[in-house]
Chain A
Amino acid sequence: MLDTVIQQLLNAAQLGAVYALIALGYTMVYGTIRLINFAHGDIFMLGGYIGFLLVTAVSGMPLVVMMPLAMLLTALVGMLIERVAYRRLRNAQRMSLVITALGVGIFLENLVRLLVGPQARQLPAQLPNGVVELFNGVVVTEDKILIIFISLALMVILWLFVHRTLMGTAMRAVADNKDAVQLMGINLNMVIAVTFAIGSALAAAGGIFFGQAYSIDPYMGIDLGWKAFIAAVIGGIGSIEGAVLGSFLLAGVEVLTVAYLSSNMKNGIAFGLLILLLLLRPNGIMGRPELKKV
Chain B
Amino acid sequence: MRQLVWSLVALLALFGVAGCEDKGLAIGVSAPLSGDIAALGQSTRNAVLLAQEEINAKGGIRIGDKLEKITFIIEDDENRPESTATVFQKLINQDRVVAIIGSQSSKCSNAGAPIAESAGIPQLSPWSTNPNVTRGRKYVFRSCFIDPFQGKEVAKFARDTMKARTAAVLYDVASDYNKGIAEVFRDEFARAGGRIVGFETYNTNDKDFSAQLCKIKGANPDILFLPNYFNEVPLQIQQARKLGLTCKVIGSDSWDNPELIKLGGREMEGTYFTNHYSPDVDRPASREFIAKYRKKFNAPVDAAAALTYDSVYILVQAIEKAGKAEPRAIRDAIASTKGFNGATGTISYNGTGDPVKGAVIIRIKNGKFVFDSAVN
Tell me whether A and B are bound partners.
yes
Asked, given contacts A131-B242, A219-B35, whether A263 binds B235 with beta carbons under 8 Å apart, the answer is: no
Are B36 and A255 in touch, CB under 8 angstroms? Answer: no
Write the nearest CB–CB distance from A159 to chain B, whole angstroms: 26
A15-B206 Cα distance, complex, nearest whole Å: 11
A204-B69 Cα distance, complex, nearest whole Å: 51
Q: Mark B352-371, 1 if CB is under 8 A from A, else 0.
A: 00000000000000000000
Residue from A117, A137, A223, A263 within 8 A of B211 (CB atoms): A263
Q: Is A118 part of the binding interface, using a Cβ–Cβ cutoff of 8 Å?
A: yes
Residue from B39, B202, B231, B243 within 8 A of A263 (CB atoms): B202
A90-B200 Cα distance, complex, nearest whole Å: 46
Nearest opposing residue in chain B for A129, CB measure: B242
Asked, given contacts A215-B235, A264-B173, whether A120 binds B263 with beta carbons under 8 Å apart, the answer is: yes
Are B211 and A258 in touch, CB under 8 angstroms? Answer: yes
Q: Is B34 part of the binding interface, using a Cβ–Cβ cutoff of 8 Å?
A: yes
Size class of the A contact interface (CB-based, 8 Å): 35 or more
Asked, given contacts A131-B244, A137-B244, whether A215 binds B34 with beta carbons under 8 Å apart, the answer is: no
Chain A contacts with B in 232-287, Cβ cutoff 8 A: 254-255, 258-259, 263-264, 266-267
Chain A residues whose C-beta falls within 8 Å of the C-beta of B263 in the assembled complex? 120, 122, 215
Q: Is B214 part of the binding interface, using a Cβ–Cβ cutoff of 8 Å?
A: yes
Q: Is B338 part of the binding interface, using a Cβ–Cβ cutoff of 8 Å?
A: no
Q: Is B208 part of the binding interface, using a Cβ–Cβ cutoff of 8 Å?
A: yes
A264-B173 Cα distance, complex, nearest whole Å: 7
Q: Is A11 part of the binding interface, using a Cβ–Cβ cutoff of 8 Å?
A: yes
Asked, given contacts A120-B263, A217-B36, A263-B200, whether A7 binds B214 with beta carbons under 8 Å apart, the answer is: yes
Size class of the B contact interface (CB-based, 8 Å): 20 to 34
Residue from A117, A210, A215, A267 within 8 A of B203 (CB atoms): A267
Write the nearest CB–CB distance from A16 to chain B, whole angstroms: 11
Chain A contacts with B in 188-216, Cβ cutoff 8 A: 210, 213-215
Nearest opposing residue in chain B for A1, CB measure: B218
Asked, given contacts A120-B263, A137-B244, A139-B243, whether A214 binds B211 with beta carbons under 8 Å apart, the answer is: no
Chain B residues whose C-beta falls within 8 Å of the C-beta of A213 in the assembled complex? 208
Q: Is B259 part of the binding interface, using a Cβ–Cβ cutoff of 8 Å?
A: yes
A129-B201 Cα distance, complex, nearest whole Å: 26
Q: Mark B209-222, 1 if CB is under 8 A from A, else 0.
A: 01110110010000
A264-B182 Cα distance, complex, nearest whole Å: 14
Write the nearest CB–CB distance from A102 to chain B, whole angstroms: 17
Are A139 and B244 in touch, CB under 8 angstroms? Answer: yes
Chain A residues whose C-beta falls within 8 Å of the C-beta of B231 in the assembled complex? 119-120, 217
Q: Mark A1-43, 1 if CB is under 8 A from B, else 0.
A: 0001001100110110000000000000000000000000000
A251-B212 Cα distance, complex, nearest whole Å: 14
A113-B34 Cα distance, complex, nearest whole Å: 8
Chain A residues whose C-beta falls within 8 Å of the C-beta of B93 in the assembled complex? none
A263-B212 Cα distance, complex, nearest whole Å: 7
Q: Is B26 part of the binding interface, using a Cβ–Cβ cutoff of 8 Å?
A: no
Write the nearest CB–CB distance from B297 to chain A, whole angstroms: 16
Nearest opposing residue in chain B for A144, CB measure: B242
Are A258 and B212 in touch, CB under 8 angstroms? Answer: yes
Q: Is A220 part of the binding interface, using a Cβ–Cβ cutoff of 8 Å?
A: yes
Write the nearest CB–CB distance from A293 to chain B, whole angstroms: 42
Chain B residues whose C-beta falls within 8 Å of the C-beta of A8 in the assembled complex? 211, 214
Asked, given contacts A4-B218, A8-B214, whether A120 binds B173 with beta carbons under 8 Å apart, the answer is: no
Q: Is B25 part of the binding interface, using a Cβ–Cβ cutoff of 8 Å?
A: no
A47-B214 Cα distance, complex, nearest whole Å: 29
Write the nearest CB–CB distance from B169 to chain A, whole angstroms: 11
Asked, given contacts A118-B38, A120-B259, A219-B35, whether A259 binds B214 with beta carbons under 8 Å apart, the answer is: yes
Chain A to chain B contacts (Cβ below 8 Å), 10 pairs: A7-B243, A8-B211, A11-B208, A12-B211, A15-B208, A117-B38, A120-B259, A214-B208, A215-B235, A217-B36
**Contacts beyond the supplied A119-B38, A210-B207, A255-B211: 8 A-B pairs with Cβ under 8 Å:** A14-B208, A15-B208, A118-B38, A118-B39, A122-B263, A131-B242, A223-B205, A258-B215
